[in-house]
Structure 1
Amino acid sequence: MSAAAFDRVRPTLERGLRRLGDRWVLILQVGVAVLVAWLVAKHVLGHEVPFFAPVTAILCLGLTYGQRLRRIAEVTVGVAIGVLVGDVIVLGLGTGAWQMAVVVVLAMAIAVVLSSGQLLVIQAGVQSVFIVALVANQSDAVSRWLDAVVGGVVALVIGAVAPTSPVRRPRAEAARTVRQVAVTLRDVVAALRRRDRALATAALAEARDLEGQISELRTAAAEGVAVVRQSPFLRGHAQSAHAAQGLVVPLDRCVRNLRVLARRASVAVSRPEVVPDHYVDLVSALADAADDLARVLDEHATPSAARAVLGRVAGLSARVDPAAGLSAEMIRGQVRSMVVDLLVVAGLDDDEALQLVPESHLP
């Protein structure tokens, strides 16, 4: 592969490796669940080929902590219904195409009566097809149902023994988001100082790409809250998990304001609009403050120092330059909004953050 081709695929590869870094513990949990479910069904229950035990464990655990207990319950019940109905039909009517249709209809109908969960209903239908089409063996009828239950119980136990990484990850994702905000702000500064349209366009693209980072943060925060609710061993981390979830909304607002700022910077360099040096310095100061806040989030330090830096940026943002054009004033306005957003990330509530941003005034 040429160097140019590798440069094109490198961002995708890096994102993939980062996803693997976020999910390797979950994958390891699934592997352990498969091993335990198979061993229990084979050596404790005495089933020769307990196929449904590891399959159910995989389906129950998945690759996310969000709503894990509900998913485990739905998949376990759905698989159990499908396997049980399939076994009964195979015992009574044998196997074949019409028996498969009857099994699917009955299994899904029973699942709908028992629950409105879509996952439960689908699993009931899918597993009943497996019974009739692939593993129909009348001598092992009820054992397949027991295997499914074993897989669900093993998944439930292993799901409760969750690591602390889902609790730590949201704060790390928030730090990464804030750090990327700082990078984009510095690119905006460079574009404004050089009057570089290409660089301004690239900065705007960076700001738009941050939406994906916000989605990752939102997922990580939801998983952090879910895992402390589900695991009795992590209840002590509940406050930290809820605090991390509270970072999502202000960072989402911050990224939206950053997009507006980058767009107005792009407009300003495309037209002969005046952006005073003071305003460009203001964007640079906000980038420095964002970097400082990212460091605080990474180090789990108290955010008071970061609040002080943001407070100074808020004070500088109050000065209006009469020579500023429309885009320049919008840039200043977005800086002020972003200061409020980052102050909330630093631990203040909305009212407290707004009070630190003084009214605009002429020099």
Structure 2
Amino acid sequence: MTTVARAAQRSRTEARDRVRRMVSRMFFIVQCGLGAAVAWWVASDVLHHTRPFFAPVTAIISLGMSFGQRLRRVTEVMIGVAVGVFTGDLFVHFFGSGVWQLGVVVVVAMSIAALLGAGMLLISQAGAQSVIVTTLVAAPGQAFTRWLDAVIGGLVALLFTLVAPAAPLRRPRQQAAVVVRELGAILADTVRALADHDADLASATLARARASEHMLDELRALSAEGIAVVRLSPLRRRHLPGVQAIADLLEPLDRAIRNLRVLVRRAAIATWREEPVPTAYLQLLTALAQTTEDIARELQERRLPVNARTGLHRIAELSAVIDPSAGLSGEVMRAQIRSMVVDLLMLTGLPQDEARDQVPESFGPTTPTTPADR
């Protein structure tokens, strides 16, 4: 594959990833839009506040936080707004509005927040809101309504999360499928790099494998959010077993990603040094990539991927055969394949001990029997 063709393929892949990322976040985007509108409506039309700027802003900020910390963070936002509003109004009343007043207001507001034992979010909010209050002076008697507007925005955000948390229940499973599908794609590219002796593709695949950790971090955050939702929302507690099942995938997925990185790094070294890798080992990688795609598809369809156990068991049996022509890189890859089989079997619901037992001991015509690499 030429450099131009590879760049074009990478551009198409990135475009698809960005569209998929936007679609996956559409629920959150729409939720923020509705939350901002409802917060403004309550403050403006119900309570008749004039220009309730802080209500929709606080709603959006609160909805953007991870749910597991949202109660504490919303409180911090509201306190930060209160400190900022009070400090800003006090300085404007006595010293007016100007450049030096703005600088002093920010320092004082953030210092007060720090003295209150606030975290960085509260301190930043105090500074930001004091700037807004100092530059956008409220009409007489309106300062207290701005604090109340922040409270309204925070409460609307919490209400939206508790009564309409469909995305926190659905997205962890979707993200788990995305992570597993990425593992399969990296394995497939590794096979191509080895088969075509493509050093550039091997390097790109290694970088991709190293970057896959952030996808798992996102899954961790989504799982924590989903568990928090079902525990706090009385309408969603029946979904706790399903959300917990996805959270239980985090440990084997983390191991699979670590083993994959070792495998891809060794494959890249083999490509750079032109070390031969047995065809049988390339076939193992291809089979593992296909099985990983099957697991991702079943996760996407809300099924425990038990059907993948047959393919994984077959890969485990084939990976026990040592090819005497394999060098160091080939043997390291074979060992990592066997470790990944254990990890993926755990994704299908098997406990770790039972998953290990599915991987037979290695044997070969010139190699003594050794325990399976697990």
**TM norm. shorter chain > 0.5:** yes
- Preserved CA contact (<8 Å) 1:67 1:226: no
SS of the aligned residue for 1:138 comes to: coil
Q: Could you tell me which of 150, 159, 162 is aligned with 1:160? A: 162
CA RMSD of aligned residues (A): 2.9
Superposition deviation, residue 337 in structure 1: 0.9
d(CA) in 2 for partners of 1:53, 1:148: 5
Distance of aligned partners of 1:222 and 1:18 in 2 relative to their CA distance in 1, 3 Å threshold: farther
- Preserved CA contact (<8 Å) 1:76 1:148: yes
Residues 143-178 of structure 1 deviation map (CA, whole Å, 9 limit, x = unaligned)? 222222222222222232233222222222222222
Letter aligned with residue 330 of structure 1: V
- Preserved CA contact (<8 Å) 1:87 1:142: no
Q: Could you tell me which of 312, 325, 328 is aligned with 2:327? A: 325
Q: Could you tell me which of 310, 326, 347 is aligned with 2:349? A: 347
Counterparts of 1:1-363 in structure 2, within 5 Å, are: 9-62=11-64, 64-65=66-67, 67-91=69-93, 94-96=96-98, 100=102, 103-271=105-273, 273-363=275-365
d(CA) in 2 for partners of 1:325, 1:115: 59
- Preserved CA contact (<8 Å) 1:52 1:147: yes
d(CA) in 1 for partners of 2:27, 2:269: 45
d(CA) in 1 for partners of 2:241, 2:135: 49
Residue range with higher mean Cα deviation, 242-251 or 184-193: 184-193
Residue range with higher mean Cα deviation, 341-350 or 88-97: 88-97
SS of the aligned residue for 2:212 comes to: helix
d(CA) in 1 for partners of 2:202, 2:173: 29
Residues 95-131 of structure 1 deviation map (CA, whole Å, 9 limit, x = unaligned)? 4556555644553344334443221122122212322
Superposition deviation, residue 280 in structure 1: 2.2
Letter aligned with residue 157 of structure 1: L
Superposition deviation, residue 89 in structure 1: 4.7
- Preserved CA contact (<8 Å) 2:78 2:147: no
Letter aligned with residue 222 of structure 2: A
d(CA) in 1 for partners of 2:34, 2:315: 51
d(CA) in 2 for partners of 1:204, 1:85: 52
Superposition deviation, residue 342 in structure 1: 0.9
Residue range with higher mean Cα deviation, 128-137 or 210-219: 210-219
SS of the aligned residue for 2:25 comes to: helix
SS of the aligned residue for 1:185 comes to: helix
Residues 318-346 of structure 1 deviation map (CA, whole Å, 9 limit, x = unaligned)? 12222321111111101011111111222
Distance of aligned partners of 1:234 and 1:338 in 2 relative to their CA distance in 1, 3 Å threshold: same
- Preserved CA contact (<8 Å) 1:69 1:230: no
Superposition deviation, residue 4 in structure 1: 10
TM-score (norm 2): 0.84
- Preserved CA contact (<8 Å) 1:53 1:150: yes
- Preserved CA contact (<8 Å) 1:314 1:339: yes
Superposition deviation, residue 79 in structure 1: 0.8
Residue range with higher mean Cα deviation, 157-166 or 208-217: 208-217
- Preserved CA contact (<8 Å) 1:176 1:294: yes
Letter aligned with residue 317 of structure 1: S
Distance of aligned partners of 1:265 and 1:93 in 2 relative to their CA distance in 1, 3 Å threshold: closer
d(CA) in 2 for partners of 1:222, 1:212: 15
Superposition deviation, residue 24 in structure 1: 1.6
Letter aligned with residue 39 of structure 1: W
Superposition deviation, residue 274 in structure 1: 4.0
- Preserved CA contact (<8 Å) 1:87 1:141: yes
Superposition deviation, residue 196 in structure 1: 4.4
TM-score (norm 1): 0.87
Letter aligned with residue 262 of structure 2: V
Residues 281-328 of structure 1 deviation map (CA, whole Å, 9 limit, x = unaligned)? 222222232122222212222333222321221122112222321111
Indicate the percent of aligned positions where both proteins have the same amino acid.
52
d(CA) in 2 for partners of 1:14, 1:272: 33
Residue range with higher mean Cα deviation, 163-172 or 97-106: 97-106
d(CA) in 2 for partners of 1:105, 1:190: 57
SS of the aligned residue for 2:323 comes to: coil
- Preserved CA contact (<8 Å) 2:178 2:296: yes
Distance of aligned partners of 1:32 and 1:355 in 2 relative to their CA distance in 1, 3 Å threshold: same
List gaps (5 residues or longer) in structure 1.
Answer: none
- Preserved CA contact (<8 Å) 1:91 1:141: no
List gaps (5 residues or longer) in structure 2.
Answer: 366-374
d(CA) in 2 for partners of 1:226, 1:295: 26
Task: Report how many aligned residue pairs link the two structures.
Answer: 361
Distance of aligned partners of 1:114 and 1:232 in 2 relative to their CA distance in 1, 3 Å threshold: farther
d(CA) in 2 for partners of 1:162, 1:47: 27
